[in-house]
Amino acid sequence: MDILLALIFGGAAGAVLHYLMPGRVSRGAALAPVLGAVVGGLVWLVFTWAGVATTSPWIWIVSIAAPLVVVPFVLLALTRARATHDARERLRLRIS
């Protein structure tokens, strides 16, 4: 049941990062929150499968920090890829 806290925090962190990161007009509003929730949940899942108890502070620290580290890098990469693709399409279609 504690995994819900990791999912909620990851989603909230992703939502905040969506508005703080540049290029939000080129990506969907749900992408960052869903990505944050998935990262937080996956970290929690890996830690519990590794046998780390929920009373350990490491499962909490890493499941909270991972979305804050991973989501900005993914959003930057997606924003750059979208800008590059859009520029290539404008050239291909001869749009100014």
Span 50-74, pLDDT tens digits = 999 999 999 999 999 999 999 999 9
Q: Please state the φ and ψ torsions of residue 18, each to the nearest 5 degrees.
A: -60, -40
Dig out the tokens for 94 from the structure. Answer: 């001869």
Torsion of CA 74, 60, 53, 5, to 10 degrees: -80
What range does the domain containing 46 cover?
3-92
pLDDT at 82: 95
User: What does the pLDDT average to over 44-51?
Assistant: 97
Total number of domains constituting the chain: 1
Query: How sure is the predictor about 18, in pLDDT bands with cuts at 50, 70 and 90?
Result: very high
Query: How sure is the predictor about 96, in pLDDT bands with cuts at 50, 70 and 90?
Result: confident
pLDDT at 64: 95
